Amino acid sequence: MFESLQERLGSILNGLTGRGALSEADVSAALREVRRALLEADVALEVVRSFTDKVREKAVGAAVLKSIKPGQMVVKIVHDELVDMLGAEGVAIDLNAPAPVVVMMVGLQGSGKTTTSAKIAKRLTERQNKKVLMASLDTRRPAAQEQLRQLGEQTKVATLPIIAGQSPVDIAKRAVQAARLGGHDVVILDTAGRTHIDEPLMVEMADIKKVSSPHEILLVADSLTGQDAVNLAKNFDERVGITGLVLTRMDGDGRGGAALSMRAVTGKPIKLIGTGEKMDGLEEFHPKRIADRILGMGDIVSLVEKAAETIDAEQAAAMAKKMQSGKFDLNDLAQQLQQMSKMGGMGGIMGMMPGMGKMKDQLAAAGFDDKMFGRQLAIISSMTKAERANPDILKHSRKKRIAAGSGTDAAEINKLLKMHRGMADMMKAMGGKGKGGGLMRGMM
Ligand code: GDP
């Protein structure tokens, strides 16, 4: 399998802890690895170049947050730039035009055009309650029209009756007319592909476009397309003028580099992704997921992101000192709880850590949920200063007052006190080792 970018950058950059900003040399070393990772993910060379140039500009001189390592900082910058370049998420198929709205599907043979046409038709029918008509304009492959007819039957979407011998342009005209007469909201035109781009194909696409005035022209492309992706997308966009991209076979083990290449050269949104042969294998595009996949590093980025947002290094250092001295009162606990709840609560933190899924389930089974943080914070804020500093003075009458003030009960207060005692003991035990830096670090 691929070595993740995180791992590679780790070995180069993790030795550099403690520097204030990323230097030109740090960034260059890191970018060599980034370039290699992108090429392995099948991003086209010219796109890799422009991408790394952009990252270089942003990264040199960028401040490294105290709580993370320089390698993680670079990964974060690379990731953000990738997400930015991949573009907006959830760009829907635009049906904002007088009915029947024509959606023209273009692409190479075998890219998944016919399958995707039917998937989109099904989706528009079921989710947006649209009346859809599909028509196959593929007169070259004998079985193509029949394939679409069968998919129509399967998805319960109407297909244009097949008339042998008609040209693609004539079928397109007939489809639009039939949709108008039949009161269809949308017509999906599934055009013919070729094994490669050639002049007759481009001419045919342009002719179909002329007679059917499509509102959307979607380029369907296999996400496993490598260096050809740029050429493919550029050609279709320049010659036919596409309005969006659909990447198929995202369920395979490709790294999704084609998404970046095609988006970069056309600037057109990736509207949907195909995730299986079945008719429901169609999903909205999430740039963050694809960026993670291209970089091959799971959720480490979101962890760094959240840590950067929430962990104040100074505060962590002060906490470490307290722990070492064995003093950890309820004020400190409140601070830790606040930090954890900002990071998405216990579940959020555990979910981001590789291999922590099981522990998360166990915590949930023990009644440890995210709402608990809120209740615990309410309990602590209902206490007096003296009570927070010295929980031992909390006897029955005080607990009653606090329960009323926080909308909880004595059992919940006892649970909190027990947890605090356990943590304080643990920290006292850890204190001697001179490490620490917050509960978070202790947990990780
Ligand atoms: P066309 O020549 O462009 O119309 O391609 P088809 O729609 O006939 O698809 C070619 C093959 O790819 C078929 O076997 C489809 O089932 C398969 N296919 C299409 N989209 C996907 C996808 O998103 N994932 C997977 N795994 N297979 C797909």
Does ligand 1 lie within 6 Å of residue 117's CB atom?
no
pLDDT band for position 79 (cuts 50, 70, 90): confident
275 lines ligand 1 (CB under 6 A): yes
101-285 CATH? 3.40.50.300
User: Residues 157, 134: contact at Cβ < 8 Å?
Assistant: yes
Asked whether 112 lines ligand 1 (CB < 6 A), one says: yes
pLDDT of 155 above 90: yes
Q: How far, CA to CA in Å, does 120 sit from each of 103, 228, 266, 340?
A: 10, 25, 22, 41
Domain 5-88, second-level architecture:
Up-down Bundle (1.20)
pLDDT digits (tens, 9 = 90+) for 299-332: 445 545 555 555 555 566 666 676 667 677 888 8
Q: Which residue out of 115, 154, 247, 285 has the highest number of ligand 1 atoms within 8 Å of its CB and is therefore the one to mutate?
A: 115
Interface confidence (ipTM) of the complex: 0.98
Is 248 annotated among the ligand-binding residues?
Answer: yes
- Residue 225 marked ligand-binding: no
Which whole-number Å values give the CA distances from 108 to 221, 278, 395, in the listed order?
A: 7, 20, 76
Distance 115 CA to ligand 1 centre (A): 6
pLDDT at 312: 53
Ligand 1 geometric centre to CA of 108 (Å): 11
Question: Counting atoms of ligand 1 from 1, which one is nearest the CA of 250?
Answer: 23
Nearest to 296 by CA among 444, 49, 75: 75
Residue 191's pLDDT is what? Answer: 96
Mean pLDDT of the chain: 82
109 is in an annotated binding site: yes
Q: How is residue 162 annotated by DSSP?
A: P
Query: In which residue ranges of the chain is CATH 1.10.260.30 found?
Result: 311-443
Range(s) within the chain of domains with CATH label 1.20.120.140: 5-88
- CATH 3.40.50.300 domain range(s) in the chain: 101-285
- Do 245 and 214 form a contact (C-beta atoms < 8 A)? no
The first and second tokens of residue 68, run together, are: 């993370």
The pLDDT-based confidence of 436 (bands split at 50, 70, 90) is very low
Among 277, 284, 285, which is best to mutate for testing ligand 1, by the most ligand atoms less than 8 A from CB? Answer: 277
pTM score above 0.80 = no
Terminal alpha carbon distance of the chain: 26
Q: CA-based angle 404:406:408, to the nearest 5?
A: 75
Which homologous superfamily is 311-443 in?
Answer: Signal recognition particle, SRP54 subunit, M-domain (1.10.260.30)
| pLDDT score for 438 | 42
Cβ(119) to ligand 1 under 6 A?
A: no
Please give the Cα distance from 265 to 257 (Å, whole number): 13
Q: Which residues pair with 247 in a beta bridge?
A: 221, 273
